[in-house]
Structure formats: C-alpha cells, structure tokens
Amino acid sequence: MVALAAPLAAQTPDPQLASGGSITLEQALALAFERSPRIQESAARVALAEGVLLGARTYPFNPVLEAERASRDDGHERTSDREIALSQEIEIAGQRGKRVASASAAAEAARAAFDRSRQELATRVEWAFATVLRARELSTLAAFEREVAAELAAFEQRRLDAGAGTLIDLNVTRAAEGRAERRVALA
C-alpha cells in the first residue's frame, strides 16, 4: 500500500485519500480509470463509433407505398383513375458493404485508441505508484541510517570517554550522522 500525495487527493473528496491514507495499486488504477477525462473521452468515442456502426448495418431505406386516385369528367362520361405504387430504393455496387466496412474500421480504431489510452494511463499510474513506494522506502532507510549513525556516534563518544577511542573515530561517526540527517531531510 502507498500513500499517494496531494495531486490525487486534491482532485477527490475521498476521505481516505484526503487524510493521506494508503491505497493499493489496483485501487489507484481503478480510481484513475474512473476519473480520467481522457479515458471518458475515449469511451465516448467508442460509443459513438459503435452507434455509427449500428446505423451502417441498418438498412437505411424503407419501402414506400403510394396510392393516387383521380376523377375525370369529359362531359359524357365520368371515369376514375386509381394508381398504387410500391417502391424500394436499393443500394448498388456494394455501397452498404463499404459503409459497414468503413464504420467497422472506425469502431475498431476507436476501441484501439481507448485501449491505448488505458495502457498509457496505467503506465503513468504504475510509474507514479513505484516512485511513491521508492520515496517511502528511501525515507524509511534514511531514518534507520540516522538512528544507526546516532547510536554509533554515542558509542564512539563512550569509547573516547573511556580512553579506548580516538577523536578521529568520533569525528568520522559524527560526519556520518550529519550525512544521515541530510538524507532524512531530503527524503
């Protein structure tokens, strides 16, 4: 588990993150996927492309039924004309197939872009997670090094006081203690 710093906590009202709590890599990835505007945009593009594909697969023309009636009166005789027509527009030369193929390719490209966006985001989150883990471990090691250096300096002081140590040994341990303090401050 890792405590993610301010950038993620600043974007979310999540109490665990806002209070500096720890989350797992899986939780960090899920949170990033859920809240990333780039992922949301890619998902919307996939939905749009799939809608266009559905429209391309649907036959765009409905049959048309027409009925007409006309009356004629030439003075001697009255007649009625009736006409019924059924028409259906058809696509020729593979127009529908080309439209479906184009929409299918666009949908596949949108899905690939979505997958790529998720992979890029996952890489960035994993890198940030590893960086935070590294910093936390370095901080822990620096604190441990400081404790060991302080104990060693105290031991050398006792040796010097007992007449068994030298001032050079004490100065070397104090310098090591100072370097350890600096590492803690930098971590």
Q: Where are the domains of the chain?
A: 23-186
Higher pLDDT, 4 or 16: 16
Q: Where are the beta strands (DSSP E) in the chain?
A: 2-3, 22-23, 64-73, 78-87
Please determine, for residue 10, whether its predicted confidence score (pLDDT) is greater than 60. Answer: no
Please determine, for residue 44, whether its predicted confidence score (pLDDT) is greater than 80. Answer: yes
Q: Which residues have CB under 8 Å from 180's CB, separation 6+?
A: 142, 145, 146, 148, 149, 150
| Nearest CA among 165, 183, 164, 187 for reference residue 175 | 183
pLDDT in the model for residue 79 = 85
Cα–Cα distances in Å, from 107 out to 47, 53, 67, 116, 146? Answer: 8, 7, 42, 14, 58
CATH code given to domain 23-186: 1.20.1600.10
Share of the chain above pLDDT 70, in %: 89
Contact 24, 112 (CB under 8 A): no
Taking the C-alpha atoms of residue 177 and residue 159, their distance in angstroms, rounded to an integer, is 17
Tally of CB atoms within 10 A around 64: 10
DSSP state, residue 166: -
